[in-house]
Structure 1
């Protein structure tokens, strides 16, 4: 397992300051670079990595520091992250000393707050007795023919650049990314979304109760170079007790899944639907965006479009943050045009509050306003709005959370269904671009809402995409399969 230390500095580390930090282990340690020089490694004399340090990134959205680290930030900061191997005891102190030297010279803070030190850390461990993890990927702790295993020990685990790179490598090599954390860790929604779908897994390592899947509660074991279900004598998966334990006080959340399509002309500007959703639901445009977390770039549709155009035809995955809401987006060039798949999650109110109030900024009436605006001006293909119960900070704990309850559905007119027992649709627009909006309820009757959705989309199809944080058996992709 690795332990992370982050230096938040007012100025970017220059070469001299960076080298002063690297010499926290004295002159005998070696330096190496990986990931096209984006990662610097502090290595033992025999070459085995002790601390990996990512290139500094400017975070110009102060709320991102608070969201991910719980640290207040008055303005933009330079984020320099170091990952220390726990195989060698001195490695974590080396990472702390590296970060401490940066903030001593440049000003700033170190996370975790108790990690600050500037001491020289001589290497005393018998390195010859320490196994060398032969992964070749800085973020990966164990590499097998079937899996990339990443171990993280922090309260909130984001979709960092490290993990985003590991996910890409897993996809390129047809492997699973399996994230191992302590039971108290929580995932951000972007990371939870990225891990959705087998064979990727969130593996919780509980010292007393063993291994289990943090999204489904299924007991796990390590076999054949990958974590999989630990089945009982009948071949059935087993749920662990910690997964059933109640978590922190929950709030009602709105989950809005939107797909839009645009003609790929030279004047196309992406992000319009995202901005419209944020303005409708939160009263303001998004604050920041990025390809990983922290999403430290100030909101800019132009820059977002330039990045997606440069990456085409490869898809571009994005995280978007704002006041009280968080979104993930996937931009993909298809034969029909440029499509944006967007999932926006926002906090609505205390769990159990009625969701039909027209004054609610994220109530069903507001959702219908979003649907009409996106259909009129942003190439809306489909929309599914649901309510779910989750944490107020939008992080995902390793606890059971009820699956979302659908409340509104928009589909193209040619895909619409009518007939006895189906909700009466509302027509949006006219002609070949027309769509139908279905009212599935106000979120208070989950059974009726899911039955209506299944009848509208085909038997069982409604459960194929229930939104982030759904419970076991509801499309999480982390069950017993």
Structure 2
């Protein structure tokens, strides 16, 4: 298990400041680097890593420390320096706190969590030779088996940090599952939920009274053959944890747009403009920032986003986009090179509290703009009962209910315009230029799923 401590400073930690932090353990603590120098590790005399420190990140997007940590900082950019301490050694957590506290003291910043901050020298008194050497060299991974990488997180909100993003890439490349273990009070950000949705990856909740269960499905879990797997009833179905019950409806809602665009792969292509249009139309402002991990640290730029995706092609690129603090809005983009061109698969979520009305009447006009200007392939709009802050608790949440589906002109042409325009078991679509827009409901009747399934089945048929 590891403990995370973050120094938030208005100035970049320079070499002398970092050295002052690295001396938090006194002269007996060694220093090592991994990840091509991007991670510095404070080590025991035998080389065992005690604290791993990631290179500082300049967060230029307002509201990120509040969104992810509940820890607001002053106006302007902030340097985010994150340390992960191994809890296999008692002194490691205090060592991480002293490292972060020294940075904050010298540079005039703060530490999260505040109670971790210190500046004392933390000598190593534990006999580390009696503690098994960790089987993994990846700082984010606590347990590594042939099939699974386990990450144990004690944060109230588990974000898709660069630590976790690196662990996810490593597990995918080695054909392993990524399983994140948290207490029942933890929540996931939308990017983390998206990354863990679908097997073999899991969110494992460790409940003191109920044991282990899946935070997204509620399935009771146990450790078997080096991985967390479901416990089954006699009839073969997964047993559901008693703690996995629905919370009372607070009136919060999430508007979810699942959007796909498809563009010709030419030198003038600029990605992200479709999502920018959606942000502008539904929030009144373009996105605030983008990044490959959380915290989202870069000011919004479609040109820089495009340059990154182009540099990685033909490999896919996965990105996170965040809105301004006054309206919870968050999106993930997967850019994929295909024989048909360049595709953007986008999930865009917006949060609304009790008394706020999700702008369902704005979807038709948005779909028209996306079709006319941004090579719309498909757009599914849905509404769900879920938290305004777009985070996911380890409780039962009902799935989103479809509101509308838009079929872009190119997709309609490939299906056949006659077929697309005459679904037998769905409402007659409205034409938006040469696209088709199908109204499915108002987001309150689950029967809209049946209507959408009939429509999808009809559009998949040929002849």
Aligned residue number for residue 389 of structure 1: 385
Match of 2:401 among 399, 405, 416: 405
1:460 Cα shift? 13
Q: Tell me which residue corresponds to 2:453.
A: 454
Q: Deviations over 1:351-374 (max 9, x none)?
A: 8x8xxxxxx5x4222111111100
Q: Is the 8 A contact 1:417 1:456 kept in 2?
A: no
User: Which moves more between the two structures, 105-114 or 241-250?
Assistant: 241-250
Q: Residue in 2 aligned with 1:17?
A: 17
Q: Please say which of residues 232-241 and 261-270 is displaced more in the overlay.
A: 232-241
Give CA-to-partner distance per residue, 1:296-318, whole Å, 9 cap, x none. 10001111111111111111101
Instruction: Give 1:419 shift.
Output: 4.0
Cα drift, residue 282 of structure 1: 0.3
Tell me by how many angstroms 1:247 deviates.
Answer: 6.1
Q: Distance in 1 between matches of 2:288 and 2:160?
A: 18
Q: Under a length normalisation based on structure 2, what TM-score does the superposition of the two structures give? A: 0.94
Structure 2: stretches of 5+ with no match in the other structure: none
Shift of 1:62: 2.4
Pick the aligned partner of 1:328 from 332, 346, 364: 332
**Partner residue, 1:130:** 131
Distance 1:51 1:181 in 2: 20
Q: Provide the secondary structure at the position in 2 that maps to 1:446.
A: coil
Q: How does 1:87-106 map to 2 (within 5 A)?
A: 87-106=88-107
Residue of structure 1 equivalent to 2:68: 68
* Cα distance between partner residues in 2 of 1:136 and 1:288: 32
Match of 1:343 in 2: 347
Q: Spell out, residue by residue over 1:157-178, the C-alpha distance to the aligned partner (whole angstroms, 9 max, x if none).
A: 1000000001101110111000
CA RMSD in angstroms comes to 1.6
Cross-structure match for 1:279: 280
Corresponding residue number in structure 1 for 2:317: 316
Helix, strand or coil: the match of 1:350? coil
Equivalent residue runs for 1:3-402 within 5 Å: 3-73=3-73, 74-246=75-247, 249-323=250-324, 324=327, 325-350=329-354, 362-402=358-398
Distance 1:170 1:65, change over 3 A: same
Long gaps (5+) in structure 1: 354-359, 462-481
> Aligned partners of 2:423, 2:243: CA distance in 1, in Å?
45
CA distance in structure 1 between the aligned counterparts of 2:161 and 2:427, rounded to whole angstroms: 42
SS state at 1:391 partner: coil
**Is 1:218–1:239's contact at 8 Å kept on the other side of the alignment?**
yes
Extract structure 1 runs of 4+ deviating beyond 6 A.
none
Q: Distance in 2 between matches of 1:125 and 1:243?
A: 39
> Once the 2 structures are TM-superposed, how far is the Cα of residue 348 of structure 1 from its aligned partner?
3.1
Structure 1 residue 2 corresponds to structure 2 residue 2: yes
Matched residue count: 448
Q: CA offsets per residue over residues 237-280 of structure 1, 9 Å max, x none?
A: 11111111526835111000100011121111111001100001
